[in-house]
Structure 1
Amino acid sequence: MYFDLPSTLRYMESVAALSSAAERAGIDLFVIPDFVSILPCKDKLSGTNIWLGAQDCYSEDKGAYTGEVSPMTLKQAGVKIVEIGHAERRRLFGETDQDVAKKAAAIVENGMVPLICIGEKSQSQIASQAVGIAVRECQPQIKAALSQIPDDADVIFGYEPVWAIGASEPAGADHVVTVVQNLRNLVSNRKGSARFLYGGSAGPGIWKALSQGVDGLFLGRFVHDPKNLEKVIQDMSEP
């Protein structure tokens, strides 16, 4: 809810202009506006390879669920990827791992890709303890989601340590890489692809340090300035 409708559409125009650079670099670029903006954003992204996303959905396609958003309707609106389980939704709206898993199932059933946010709340200043805490808190989040979607379904996990969201600096590269390496064991035998992105104060300049451990970046406020998004694409384009 940082942007209103006019600023969202201006932002989409700037992102659309970066589509060719992302494609040349082999980057799957996605952008996730608010619900009201989805249809006009689809028009702004026409002719690009950018994935249109949604920030949430409900776990049912139809019914007496006033105020919720149907995954079937999102698919019809041109959405390809749906973010679910963000730390803010878990904290502010009481979403559980089971709620998120049901949403993941509905997203997959409608032919879209779930982007499942995971992350630990607790933090330790001792590196080995911090990794153990992260793995222990993230594993149930992943297992719950995987239990509800087909083995051949594509899924993306956005690893965001809750303590790093909104912080001045992202989590340390060693921590992120080690945690994700441990979490990959949960998806190593799946038929469908399972990609891990890092979020949590992610921005320009961190890709090289994380590239050996994660598949991409989940960017928030640091790329509200399109120039920073362009810098990230440039970072990821370099050998």
Structure 2
Amino acid sequence: MRTPFIVGNWKMNLTLEEVDSFLDQITNKLPDSNQVECAIAASPIFLETLTKYCKNSPLKSSAENCFYKDKGAYTGEVSPYALSEMGVNYVMLGHSERRKYFNETNKTVNKKLKAVLQNHMIPIICCDETMTKQKTDDHMDWVVNPVAESLNGVSSKDAQNVVIGYEPSWAIGTGKSASVSETQEACCLIRKTIAELYDEKVASKVRILYGGSVNDKNVQELMQQKDVDGVLAGTASLKPKEFLKIVNYSK
């Protein structure tokens, strides 16, 4: 049984004062982590505050990115080793904005994924599709390519703990969400791809999330789909009341 997983992605938003206020407002209001696991992906400047809060909360912490080396002369990058030592639980990799603005490739994501696993954290791999591809007959073939290439050389033992986020770029921050049937189709195909790469047992354990204009209005229907194990919420995760509505979708 895969535990539902809700991740809020703050991106490059909020201030430290706003983060403190956010965390105060969600205290004692999150679901039981055995029923619904919750996490916040935050900028590196907020991760110390977030990880300290998570020690006494069911909330989990996630970095929004990291480098593929533990240390060295890489000015401006974030060390996966340092994140692990800080107590960060998850690391998001390959978000469409990282691919678009910072030219990240599947090969880069693969190197980062291995670094995250070596440092005993769990990677959240994001895979995208563009509006142009989405309009073609074979658009779903594009979706699985980032999954296969990102998992290259990863053992089945490690792969079953990886989280995969399906995020069509045209739905991110636009207010336009993929239909429930489109979301289920994409997530099902991703799971089939994992089964082909490894086996059905591994595929049955991997959690697959949907991201793209998720809000408290569409989360419940999305979570009812067989292959949708959770959601990645962007804008809606910036306001504590909205975030709480999403994570408590089942109530």
Give me the TM-score of the superposition, normalised by structure 1: 0.90
Equivalent residues, number: 231
User: How far apart in 2 are the matches of 1:172 and 1:149?
Assistant: 32
> What is residue 208 of structure 2 aligned with on the other side?
196
Cα displacement string for residues 11-62 of structure 1 (whole angstroms, at most 9, x for unaligned residues): 122234333x2436x1111111110111122222231121111010000112
> What is residue 12 of structure 1 aligned with on the other side?
23
User: How far apart in 1 are the matches of 2:114 and 2:126?
Assistant: 15
Cα displacement string for residues 123-176 of structure 1 (whole angstroms, at most 9, x for unaligned residues): 4786xx46x30x211211001111132211110111110110111221111111
> What is residue 220 of structure 2 aligned with on the other side?
208
> What is residue 33 of structure 2 aligned with on the other side?
23
Bigger mean CA deviation after superposition, 88-97 or 5-14: 5-14
Q: Is the partner of 2:33 in helix, strand or coil?
A: helix
The AA in structure 2 aligned to 1:179 is: A
User: How far apart in 2 are the matches of 1:92 and 1:85?
Assistant: 11
5+ long unaligned stretches in structure 1: none
User: How far apart in 1 are the matches of 2:54 and 2:220?
Assistant: 28
The AA in structure 1 aligned to 2:33 is: E
Given the alignment of the two structures, is residue 88 of structure 1 paired with residue 89 of structure 2, yes or no?
Answer: no
> What is residue 170 of structure 1 aligned with on the other side?
177
Q: Is the partner of 1:92 in helix, strand or coil?
A: helix
The AA in structure 2 aligned to 1:73 is: A
Give 1:151's match in structure 2, choosing from 150, 156, 171.
156
Indicate the structure whose relative CO is greater, using CA pairs within 8 Å and at least 6 residues apart.
2
Pairwise CA distance, 1:234: 2.8
The AA in structure 2 aligned to 1:23 is: S
User: How far apart in 1 are the matches of 2:124 and 2:133?
Assistant: 27
Given the alignment of the two structures, is residue 183 of structure 1 paired with residue 190 of structure 2, yes or no?
Answer: yes
The AA in structure 2 aligned to 1:205 is: K
Percent identity at matched positions? 29
User: How far apart in 2 are the matches of 1:139 and 1:215?
Assistant: 17
Aligned pairs (5 A) from 1:113-132: 113-123=122-132, 129=136, 132=138
Pairwise CA distance, 1:120: 0.3
Change (3 A) 1:144 1:125: closer
Pairwise CA distance, 1:79: 0.3
User: How far apart in 2 are the matches of 1:9 and 1:136?
Assistant: 42
User: How far apart in 2 are the matches of 1:67 and 1:234?
Assistant: 36
5+ long unaligned stretches in structure 2: 1-11
Q: Is the partner of 2:248 in helix, strand or coil?
A: helix
User: How far apart in 1 are the matches of 2:239 and 2:153?
Assistant: 37
> What is residue 73 of structure 2 aligned with on the other side?
64
CA contact (8 A) 2:167 2:210 kept: yes
Give 2:236's match in structure 1, choosing from 208, 222, 227.
222
The AA in structure 1 aligned to 2:214 is: A
CA contact (8 A) 1:123 1:163 kept: no
User: How well do the aligned residues superpose, as a CA RMSD in angstroms?
Assistant: 1.9
CA contact (8 A) 2:89 2:121 kept: yes
The AA in structure 2 aligned to 1:5 is: L
User: How far apart in 1 are the matches of 2:163 and 2:129?
Assistant: 17
The AA in structure 1 aligned to 2:46 is: S
User: How far apart in 2 are the matches of 1:97 and 1:2?
Assistant: 26
Cα displacement string for residues 78-113 of structure 1 (whole angstroms, at most 9, x for unaligned residues): 101000111111010100110011101100111100
